[in-house]
Structure 1
Amino acid sequence: MSITAINDTPVYSGNVIDLSTLKIASLFKGTTRQFLAEKLNARDIDSIVSKEKALWHAILKFKTTGDVVDNVDIWLEFRSNIHAANLYINDSLFFRNGTVDTLSLISDSGKNLVRKRIPKSYLIDGENKLEIEFTNYKSKSNTVIRDLSIGNLEAFQNQTAIMTTAPILLFGIFSFLVLINLVMYFSLDRKKVFLLLALLFLVNSILVAYEVLYWNGFVPSASLINSYTIRGGLEYGTYLILLFILIIEFEFGSRTILLAILAYLIVYTITITTSFNVAIALSLLPFLLGLKALWNKVEHSIVISVSLFILLTFNYLDDYNIIENYDFVESNFIITSLVYKLDGLGLIVFALVMIFISAKRILAKTKSLNEANLKLERLEYQFLQKLILPHFIVNSLMSLQELIANKPNTANKMIEALSKEFHLLSTMSKKKLVPIHQEIEMCNAHLKIVSFQQKAKYKMNVIGISGDELVPPTIIHTLVENGITHGYSGNQNAIFDLSKKEVQGTIIYRLFNDSDKTKSDLGHSTGLGLKYIEARLEECYPERWQLRSSKTRNGWESIIEIRSVL
């Protein structure tokens, strides 16, 4: 936009003029107002003032007419990182932004953005003088005047709408995504990728919230960390979090983790010391990681890589203002605001892709669980039938008949054992998890019954188990029964050892028997018993269990491993 000027002094006629961009300022130092330079803009002032701490005066002039003064409200917008400043118009104090102290102490920091209507009595027909009195005793770097504009309130409010509409919209979306991922983290086996996604969107919600506060003047003009450093840190941190999300999602190893971190540090160091755009360079790293997953044909790597390419492209378009000069951008302030936040829209695309992948996995898992439940119900029915097979009842009745005739007291003990086993079986079978001491009681009852039947000694030793541990019902009982069926015959004695230990977050149950058989069907069995155990484990610990059986030096062992939730 062209600016009318008379003798290099801009003339205000109603359109916004940013005086900080024009080389019209004169700079003075100290209480004596030592003249330093003239025909300066804001950058020139910063290059001089940032070299030493002192009291400074910057004087700028603009012209206006009496007709404009009388008929138009003139507003001033002052945006800076100067800790505190006093602004004068024609030598009259216009406003204080914080407290300016001529000593080395400064208190009461001002706001980053101030807008005020200039009283008509302050302005004159002709040349007007605008003076900024400020110090940089707190920090030499707090000397940047980002905006010093005169204009109308509507234009300034429209600027705020443009700079905050998209951030407000993105804040709502990012906050929702934080909640969604936290819900999925706590409801879906606490997978770390959901926690990192929640952190990613939390960081970006803070980033856009900060922008909303900044453009409404709710941010201190100066702090220990300036606003650009804060926003840059949040933005650059986004790409580091994104790298870890991809590493977990694609299940890369520790070597890739170290290389990714090293690449991030190298790229960041190079870009901040050169003129290359930091955000674009850092957003390239996740895309390259996606290409690596694509090369390895990792599941979902295609759609994730496409979303990362869109993020990289949007970053490039945003940081180099590629499309901001097109006519359609200025057609609506909402469109303009969205164009200014293309990098945020790129993250939304990535979020939609991750939600799609998560939804797909949830549907697959739900389908799998439904199928497992149906299978489990059928197996439970069939397994209960198997447990009370006629030959087991016949053998028990025949043993009872003999015991009643010859050893009535022993017969009573066998009847008690039968009653106890069937009672526990009927109460436990419909539960998802039961205390392992009930499982052990049922196993002991079964071993007592078999001892009576086979006229041998069957017993089980328990090692390292408190009894309060929860396990799926009848899985140990099933292993014991399989061990008896495939490991012993006649009146051979049998010893079972049930033990538990925990190694690096994995609970390991081991059932050992001292069978001397050289072959066993247990390791390769496709019978109902083992199918029942597998269905129960999958129902309670989806994709976190392992069941195996093998011959040992002194017998056979069956091992159940249950990994803890990460």
Structure 2
Amino acid sequence: MCNNLFAQSELGNITFNLDSSGINLIQQWKVIFEDNPEFANPNFDDSKWQGLESLSENYKGVRWYRQSINLEGELREFDFLAMNTSTLVSAYEIYWDGNLILQNGSVSNSLENEIAGEVFQLAKMPKDITTNGKHTIAIRLSNQNSNEPFVYPQIEIGYHEEVHDVLETFFNIQVLNGTVFFLAMLFNFAMFFGGGRHRAYLLFAIYCFVGLIDLVFTTYNLQNNINIALLPYFDSFYYIVSPLSLILLSVFFINNFEIPKRNLHIGIIATLSILLFLLIGRESIFLLSFYPIGLAIYAVKKRRIGSFTIFIGITAQVILAFLFAFGILSFGYTIGIIALVFCVNLSISRQIREQSEQLESSRLFSAKLETDLLKKNIQPHFLSNTLFSIISWIEESPQKAVELIQALADEFRLVNKIASKKEIPLFEEIKLCETHLELMSLRKDAKFKLEQINLPESEMVPPMIFHTLIENGLTHAFESGENGTFTLSCEKLDGNTHFKLVNNGSLLKELEKSNDEQISEGMGIRYIKTRLEECYPKKWEMNYGLKDGLWQVNILIKNKI
């Protein structure tokens, strides 16, 4: 949150250049665990005070800190110096050359009398006390309302405008980070509920939600400048949310990339998260970040789809978070979050696309196999029946048998011509149907005809669908020697094409006694449905049944261009 541009050689010798820009960090202090107002006097002899590095005891109560600073250069005309004291807890007073420039809360040696101050404070220094030369900063502090038994002050000093800008920039960055998590959470929840309920989206949405809650509390703290006494409650929340976010990210990796020994990994990351956060606090999040990186590396080695993309995202996020934490890149954490969210969603999208392609490929392959099988069975279906008829006619009427053989040859010629095609013009399908009716008229010694109503002859249709329906009708709807009529009509409306085939067979009366469940779907109907799905995936409807004593089959092809 600052640039370490301060000049510091040893304890008690810090220089701040008034001509420079940037913010200087003061973190070396002398300390004494006593309370005496003379400690604020710049002429007080603090040579016997200890340095922070030599202390090992924990202490609750009042203590003083002192440090000297040299101001060099010329103070800006329209600005003044200020100090950011946000790291101090829980009540304190700031003195500059013996002058009280900030009081935050009420310092006391007892918890009952100490009044905790607010988290974020700026100590503003009038121009008349920030002249060139040596100055003394003294801090009187008590920590009765803090969880920190010993306080290591880190005070930022610089021009007020720049110190204020740093705080405002930090707040805006947190808002931006929260916005990224919020949008990512909404997107992943939307993809989960509206995109097939893929578990990867749900897990990452929950991870984003936890990250958002963490940032909401941080932003609330910055915006409302909460009382320091409330910090323990915020810390308790952080101690829960921070490891939880790492656990959720690891669980996402484990599930998304099918990492073996799932429960073992979840147990390890949960245990490490709790132990490290208890031992070293929130800084442990950097160490824990290497666990999901290790999971991503494993997935890359196993060539899991999208694993390399996520590896790039999580690695970039960790590196950029380090740069942010050490003050090298102000927007490092934000850029890291964006990189992680982008790479994760890109990886999930690739996985789902791959799964969809595999599913579609399997479905088409299955449909092709079914179509090929049905074609191999549907074509010999009428052949066997016709050959039996030829055998009968050879003995009774050789001439009739010859005509039957000729008609059968004509039909075979047409079937061989069109059977392997995906679509054929309607007039070729009609010609095949009429040839079949002529053949069946000879075979059954009856008269069969096909009436046509509004048929667009150039319309493309899957081969043999009406031929199969007519063959089914001849088999199941007509008595031997019974004449019959089939009527095929077409109607176009709103881009949809509606075909209707009707027959008037006398055996239909028997079907009236059956319910829909008793009317079985034979090989012919399955063949027709398979060919329709092959040509018009999910864009067709087919129904059949008795209506007004006639058998009707309706085929609707949607949005057929």
CA distance 1:36–1:119, change in 2 (3 Å) = closer
- Go from structure 1 to structure 2 and tell me whether the alpha carbon gap of 1:113 and 1:276 turns closer, same or farther (over 3 Å shift): closer
> Given the alignment, which residue of 504, 519, 535 partners 1:481?
519
1:248 to 248, 252, 255: 255
Whole-Å separation in 2 of the counterparts to 1:294 and 1:264: 20
Query: Which residue is 1:351 aligned to?
Result: 344
Q: Would the aligned equivalents of 1:113 and 1:216 in 2 still touch at CA under 8 Å? A: no
**2:82 aligned with 1:75, yes or no?**
yes
**Structure 1 residues 316 and 530, CA, compared in 2 at 3 Å: closer, same or farther?**
same
Give 1:517's aligned residue.
none
Contact in 2 for aligned 1:99/1:110 (Cα 8 Å): yes
Following superposition, the deviation at residue 135 of structure 1 comes to 2.0
Matches within 5 A, 1:185-334: 185-208=192-215, 218=225, 220-225=227-232, 234-251=241-258, 256-268=261-273, 278-294=284-300, 298=304, 300=305, 303-312=306-315, 314-316=317-319, 318-319=321-322, 321=323
Deviates more, 1:229-238 or 1:134-143: 229-238
Which residue pairs with 2:330 in the alignment? Answer: 337
Q: How does 1:2-401 map to 2 (within 5 A)?
A: 3=7, 8-14=12-18, 15=20, 18=24, 20-23=26-29, 25-30=30-35, 48=57, 51-64=58-71, 68=75, 73-105=80-112, 109-120=116-127, 127-141=134-148, 143-160=150-167, 163=170, 166-208=173-215, 218=225, 220-225=227-232, 234-251=241-258, 256-268=261-273, 278-294=284-300, 298=304, 300=305, 303-312=306-315, 314-316=317-319, 318-319=321-322, 321=323, 336-339=329-332, 343-354=336-347, 356-357=349-350, 360=353, 389=473, 392-394=476-478
Once residues 382 and 106 of structure 1 are traced to their aligned partners in structure 2, the CA distance between those partners, rounded to angstroms, is 96
Does structure 2 conserve the Cα–Cα contact (< 8 Å) formed by 1:63 and 1:128?
Answer: yes
1:453 is aligned, of 493, 500, 510, to: 510
The structure with more radius of gyration: 2
Whole-angstrom distance in 2 between the partners of 1:248 and 1:280? 22
Shift of 1:264: 1.0
Between the aligned partners of 1:80 and 1:271, the Cα distance in structure 2 is 22
The equivalent residue for 1:506 is: none
Q: Name the counterpart of 1:495.
A: none
CA separation in 2, counterparts of 1:4 and 1:53? 30
Could you report, residue by residue, the CA deviation over 1:429-451 in whole angstroms, capped at 9, with x for unpaired residues? x9xxxxxxxxxxxxxxxxxx999
List alignment gaps of at least 5 residues for structure 2. Answer: 40-44, 368-421, 424-460, 483-495, 497-505, 540-561
Q: In structure 2, what is the equivalent of residue 527 of structure 1?
A: 526
- Provide Cα deviations, 1:460-484, integer angstroms capped at 9, x if missing partner: xxxxxxxxxxxxxxxxx46x4338x
Q: Which runs of 5+ in 1 are unaligned?
A: 330-335, 399-429, 431-448, 460-476, 486-520, 541-566
Kept after mapping to 1: 8 A contact 2:211/2:245:
yes
Structure 1 residues 36, 143: CA separation in 2 closer, same or farther (over 3 Å shift)?
A: farther
Instruction: Count the aligned residue pairs.
Output: 409
Q: Secondary structure at the match of 2:111?
A: coil
Instruction: State how far apart, in whole Å, the 2-side matches of 1:324 and 1:108 are.
Output: 32
Counterpart in 1 of 2:428? none
Aligned-residue sequence identity (percent) comes to: 14
CA distance in 1, matches of 2:282, 2:229: 27
**Aligned-partner Cα distance in 2 for 1:238–1:68:** 46
Paired with 2:9 and 2:299, the residues of 1 have a C-alpha distance of: 59
Q: Helix, strand or coil for the counterpart of 1:199?
A: helix
1:208, CA displacement in angstroms? 4.7
Shift of 1:276: 13
User: Taking structure 1 as the reference length, what is the TM-score of the superposition?
Assistant: 0.55
Distance 1:288 1:57, change over 3 A: closer
